[in-house]
């Protein structure tokens, strides 16, 4: 029933020499009839198997079973020479598997380098499950249902460097759980239910350089535990319910290059918080509750390149907050409560900073302009969510290297053509979620030269004036995909319609220039009439009200309550009527 497919070096041959398909199929035919020892690969029906050539590894046999709904690993039909086994399942069709020592008995998969069993509801790893898989370097058991793991699960894995156990339900881990994994370099335990780290948990993991504990309800980190992993380079504990960190931990891991403590509950950091982390290159503190970054906070982190402080409660960056950050490349201070800057704050980073995100603060544009003026090297600027109605044409006059600009979620009503005609190197523009109604030919020509453009969620007005040029550019230029997905905002009749579904004859005609002029004049005249009428009515009403006041005040109150607009009713009705009548005459007349 099972296929014995010949997919050894023929696949490789095919990839290297696509024109030689005839030769390949001849070889394939020969191989099917005449089995050549050592070169055939057995492959289960529900899997795909191929042999690829890797310059570093030589020939690699890779088995992938990813259809889902699997209840047993078809291990008897997987070729014993496999180097990589991937068992996964699409969302909605998970597997339900158990794994005992299936990969080691009766004979082990001696070549196995990587084993992935993912989204398969695996409830536990049996003892000695991987015994004898001496060459195994990577185990990937993410998205399963493991609730506990123990040292015996990992016996014999002398050469394992990568262990991924994230997205399980692990609660318990005893001391020395990983003691057999002396070569381990990366350990991912994110998205589990670990609430405490017992002492000596990481014993024997002297080579560990990557540790991810994110999304576990830890609330506190025991410094003791970090004594065993002093060579950590990357440590992540996002959403760990942390309020503070015992800085003793940082003394124990002085080689740390990346620290992610995002989305915790830090309220305050002392100025010597990160003093031990002299090698730190990337620090993420977004989504905490910090209200200030104090002076000299990063004075000893001179190699820091990326600093994320977004979504805190910062009202202030102290004047010396960025002292010594002369290598800083990316700074994100978006979504705080910052309303002004000290210019000297940015002095240390003027030569290095390439991107800065100001979005979602209470910053007026002139505060931002003053900072941008001293950042000539800047490549990317984030200005989203700043209630911007208009950007002055010279806003980026000192930032001639600007490559990426995010001005989404603002209140722009017209495309900032003059501004963007001066940013010659712009390659990414996000102007989505604004109030643009239309783009003219000039705007579209400018946009054509920008590689990535987002125009989504604006107030696109789909009549023959507003949309025709855009439709033309959609049909003939690289903006095709960008414009096609936009939706009309007005008129009501076309609200929500995709530009891709529009055609010229579905659009309302627009007033000609003459009509437009006429309606402006008519509008002005009507305004005068309306004002006069309002004044007259107001006078009239005041008199009437005064009369009522002295005669029957109670009655008046009742009436006013029922029809609060009544007093002005005459005026409004009158003006509405007069506005509409001549306008229609003008349109009909042409
Ligand atoms: C684990 O396997 C899944 C499914 O094949 C894959 O998407 C994921 O990238 C793997 N993780 C690692 C670290 O290799
Ligand atoms: C996952 O494990 C828990 C605890 O053992 C169990 O209650 C639950 O039914 C398991 N879920 C699946 C999908 O097997
Ligand atoms: C695996 O570990 C053994 C024992 O430490 C060693 O002799 C062998 O060379 C290692 N294999 C690989 C592929 O690193
Ligand atoms: C900044 O760096 C210099 C030179 O390494 C060092 O002497 C100084 O103490 C640092 N400043 C702070 C505030 O840590
Ligand atoms: C802008 O703010 C809205 C609403 O708070 C939010 O959904 C959106 O993600 C923000 N956009 C950016 C780019 O910050
Ligand atoms: C625009 O995109 C649509 C759908 O992706 C495609 O059918 C059409 O041929 C494209 N037109 C041009 C001019 O590229």
Structure tokens at 35: 């089995």
| Residue whose pair of structure tokens reads 């009200």 in the numeric block | 545
Ligand number nearest CA of 357 is 5
- State the helix-helix crossing angle for 9-16 and 21-33, rounded to 10 degrees: 170
Angle at 164 between CA 153 and CA 159, to 5 degrees: 60
Whether 57 is in a domain gets the answer yes
Q: How confident is the model at residue 520 (pLDDT cuts 50, 70, 90)?
A: low
Q: What is the mean pLDDT of residues 237-256?
A: 95
CB atoms within 10 A of CB 243: 13
Q: Check whether residue 425 and residue 492 sit in a common domain.
A: no
- Tell me which of 130, 145, 160 is where a domain ends: 145
- Tell me which of 442, 457, 472 is where a domain ends: 457
pLDDT at 575 over 80: no
Q: DSSP letters along 249-310, please?
A: HHHH-TT--EEE-TTS------TTTTTT-TT--EEE-TTS---EE-TTTTTT-TT--EEE--
Whether 553 is in a domain gets the answer no
The pLDDT score that the predictor gives to residue 8 is 35
Q: Check whether residue 51 and residue 78 sit in a common domain.
A: yes
Q: What is the mean pLDDT of residues 151-178?
A: 93
360 pocket-lining for ligand 5 (C-beta < 6 Å): yes
Q: Are 285 and 298 in contact (CB under 8 A)?
A: no
Whether 168 is in a domain gets the answer no
Q: Check whether residue 137 and residue 63 sit in a common domain.
A: yes
For the ranges 84-93, 107-116, 174-183, the lowest mean pLDDT is seen at 107-116
Q: 477 lies in which domain range?
A: 460-525
The pLDDT score that the predictor gives to residue 3 is 42
Peptide bond preceding 491: is omega within 30 degrees of 0, i.e. cis? Answer: yes
Q: How confident is the model at residue 99 (pLDDT cuts 50, 70, 90)?
A: confident
385 pocket-lining for ligand 5 (C-beta < 6 Å): yes
The C-alpha atoms of residue 389 and residue 383 are separated, in whole angstroms, by 12
The pLDDT score that the predictor gives to residue 504 is 84
pLDDT at 17 over 70: no
The pLDDT score that the predictor gives to residue 531 is 62
Q: pTM for this one?
A: 0.79
- The residue contributing the CA closest to ligand 2 atom 4 is 147
pLDDT in tens, 42-97: 888 889 999 888 888 788 899 999 999 999 888 888 888 899 999 999 999 999 99
For the ranges 42-56, 207-221, 541-555, the lowest mean pLDDT is seen at 541-555
Q: Check whether residue 387 and residue 431 sit in a common domain.
A: yes
Helix (H) or strand (E) holding 211: strand 210-212
Beta-strand relationship, 58-65 and 48-54: antiparallel
- Tell me which of 502, 525, 548 is where a domain ends: 525
Q: Are 111 and 81 in contact (CB under 8 A)?
A: yes
3-state SS class at 80? coil
Q: How far is CA 156 from CA 129, 147, 587, in A?
A: 9, 22, 87
Q: Check whether residue 451 and residue 512 sit in a common domain.
A: no
The C-alpha atoms of residue 276 and residue 16 are separated, in whole angstroms, by 51
- How far away, in angstroms, is 90 Cα from ligand 2 center? 19
The C-alpha atoms of residue 286 and residue 290 are separated, in whole angstroms, by 9
Q: Check whether residue 424 and residue 520 sit in a common domain.
A: no
How many C-alpha atoms does 285 have within 13 Å on its Cβ side? 24
The C-alpha atoms of residue 480 and residue 499 are separated, in whole angstroms, by 10
Hey, which residues does 172 pair with through a beta bridge?
Answer: 148
Q: Are 388 and 363 in contact (CB under 8 A)?
A: no
Please choose, from the candidates 148, 130, 146, the residue with its C-alpha nearest in 3D space to the C-alpha of residue 138: 130
pLDDT in tens, 249-282: 999 999 999 999 999 999 999 989 999 999 999 9
Q: Check whether residue 471 and residue 415 sit in a common domain.
A: no
User: What is the separation of C-alpha 177 from the centre of its chain, rounded to a whole number of angstroms?
Assistant: 35
pLDDT in tens, 315-347: 989 999 999 999 999 999 999 999 999 989 999
The pLDDT score that the predictor gives to residue 506 is 83
Whether 449 is in a domain gets the answer yes
At 259, phi and psi to the nearest 5? -130, 120
- How far away, in angstroms, is 472 Cα from ligand 2 center? 57
How many domains are contained in the chain? Answer: 3
Whether 440 is in a domain gets the answer yes
Q: How far is CA 52 from CA 19, 26, 49, in A?
A: 18, 20, 10
- The residue contributing the CA closest to ligand 3 atom 11 is 135
Q: Check whether residue 470 and residue 446 sit in a common domain.
A: no
The pLDDT score that the predictor gives to residue 565 is 38
- How far away, in angstroms, is 76 Cα from ligand 1 center? 23
Percentage of residues in the chain having pLDDT higher than 90:
64
Q: Are 487 and 462 in contact (CB under 8 A)?
A: no
The pLDDT score that the predictor gives to residue 535 is 61
Whether 185 is in a domain gets the answer no
Peptide bond preceding 106: is omega within 30 degrees of 0, i.e. cis? Answer: yes
480 pocket-lining for ligand 6 (C-beta < 6 Å): yes
Q: Are 583 and 519 in contact (CB under 8 A)?
A: yes
Q: Check whether residue 137 and residue 43 sit in a common domain.
A: yes
The C-alpha atoms of residue 142 and residue 3 are separated, in whole angstroms, by 29
Q: Are 260 and 214 in contact (CB under 8 A)?
A: yes
CB atoms within 10 A of CB 92: 8
CATH number of the structural domain spanning residue 413: 3.80.10.10
- How far away, in angstroms, is 485 Cα from ligand 6 center? 12
Q: Check whether residue 417 and residue 386 sit in a common domain.
A: yes
pLDDT at 184 over 80: yes
Torsion of CA 283, 311, 317, 395, to 10 degrees: 100
323 pocket-lining for ligand 4 (C-beta < 6 Å): yes
Whether 101 is in a domain gets the answer yes
- Average per-residue pLDDT for the chain: 83
> Which residues form ligand 2's pocket by a CB distance below 6 Å?
121, 123, 145, 147, 169
pLDDT in tens, 122-155: 999 888 888 888 899 999 999 999 999 988 889 8
Q: Check whether residue 479 and residue 510 sit in a common domain.
A: yes
Whether 204 is in a domain gets the answer no
Q: Check whether residue 45 and residue 121 sit in a common domain.
A: yes
Ligand number nearest CA of 384 is 5
- The residue contributing the CA closest to ligand 6 atom 1 is 480
Structure tokens at 280: 């730190």
């Amino acid at each position: 029933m099972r296929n014995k497919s010949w997919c050894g070096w023929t696949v490789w041959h095919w990839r290297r020499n696509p024109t030689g398909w005839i030769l390949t199929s001849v070889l394939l035919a020969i191989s099917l009839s005449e089995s050549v020892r050592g070169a055939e690969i057995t492959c289960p029906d529900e899997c795909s198997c191929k042999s690829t050539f890797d310059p570093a590894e030589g020939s690699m046999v890779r088995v992938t079973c990813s259809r889902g709904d699997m209840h047993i690993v078809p291990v008897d039909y997987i070729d014993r020479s496999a180097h990589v086994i991937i068992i996964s399942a699409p969302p909605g069709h998970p597997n339900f598997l158990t794994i005992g020592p299936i990969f080691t008995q009766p004979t082990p998969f001696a070549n196995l380098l990587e084993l992935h069993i993912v989204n398969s509801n695996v409830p536990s790893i049996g003892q000695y499950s991987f015994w004898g898989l001496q060459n195994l370097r990577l185990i990937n058991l993410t998205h399963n249902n493991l609730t506990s793991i123990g040292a015996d699960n990992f016996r014999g894995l002398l050469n394992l460097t990568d262990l991924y156990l994230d997205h399980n339900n692990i609660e318990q881990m005893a001391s020395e759980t990983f003691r057999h994994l002396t070569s381990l370099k990366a350990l991912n335990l994110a998205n589990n239910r670990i609430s405490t780290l017992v002492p000596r948990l990481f014993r024997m993991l002297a080579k560990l350089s990557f540790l991810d504990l994110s999304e576990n309800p830890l609330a506190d980190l025991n410094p003791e535990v970090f004594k065993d992993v002093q060579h950590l380079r990357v440590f992540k504990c996002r959403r760990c319910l942390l309020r503070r960190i015992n800085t003793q931990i940082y003394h124990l891991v002085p080689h740390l290059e990346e620290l992610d403590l995002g989305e915790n509950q830090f309220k305050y950091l002392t100025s010597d918080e990160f003093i031990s982390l002299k090698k730190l290159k990337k620090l993420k503190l977004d989504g905490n509750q910090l209200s200030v970054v104090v002076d000299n906070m990063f004075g000893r982190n001179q190699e820091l390149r990326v600093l994320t402080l977004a979504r805190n409660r910062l009202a202030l960056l102290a004047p010396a907050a960025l002292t010594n950050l002369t290598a800083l490349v990316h700074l994100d201070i978006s979504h705080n409560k910052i309303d002004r800057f000290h210019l000297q704050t940015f002095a240390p980073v003027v030569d290095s900073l390439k991107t800065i995100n100001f979005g979602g603060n209470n910053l007026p544009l002139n505060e931002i302009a003053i900072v941008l003026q001293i950042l000539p090297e800047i490549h990317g600027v984030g200005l989203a969510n700043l209630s911007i109605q208009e950007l002055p044409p010279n806003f980026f006059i000192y930032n001639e290297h600007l490559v990426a600009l995010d001005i989404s979620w603002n209140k722009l009503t017209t495309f900032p053509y003059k501004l963007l005609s001066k940013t010659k190197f712009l390659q990414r523009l996000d102007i989505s979620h604004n109030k643009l109604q239309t783009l003219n030919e000039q705007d579209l020509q400018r946009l054509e030269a920008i590689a990535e453009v987002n125009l989504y969620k604006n107030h696109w007005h789909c009549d023959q004036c507003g949309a025709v040029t855009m439709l033309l550019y959609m049909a003939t230029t690289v903006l095709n995909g960008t414009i096609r997905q936009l939706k009309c905002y007005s008129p009501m009749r076309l609200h929500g319609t995709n530009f891709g579904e529009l055609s010229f004859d579905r659009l309302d005609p627009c007033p000609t220039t003459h009509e437009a002029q006429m309606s402006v004049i008519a509008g002005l005249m009507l305004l005068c009439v309306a004002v006069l009428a309002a004044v007259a009515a107001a006078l009239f009403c005041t008199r009437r009200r005064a009369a009522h006041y002295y005669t029957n005040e109670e009655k008046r109150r009742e009436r006013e309550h029922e029809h609060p607009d009544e007093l002005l009713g005459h005026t409004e009705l009158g003006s509405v009527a007069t506005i509409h009548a001549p306008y229609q005459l003008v349109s009909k007349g042409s």
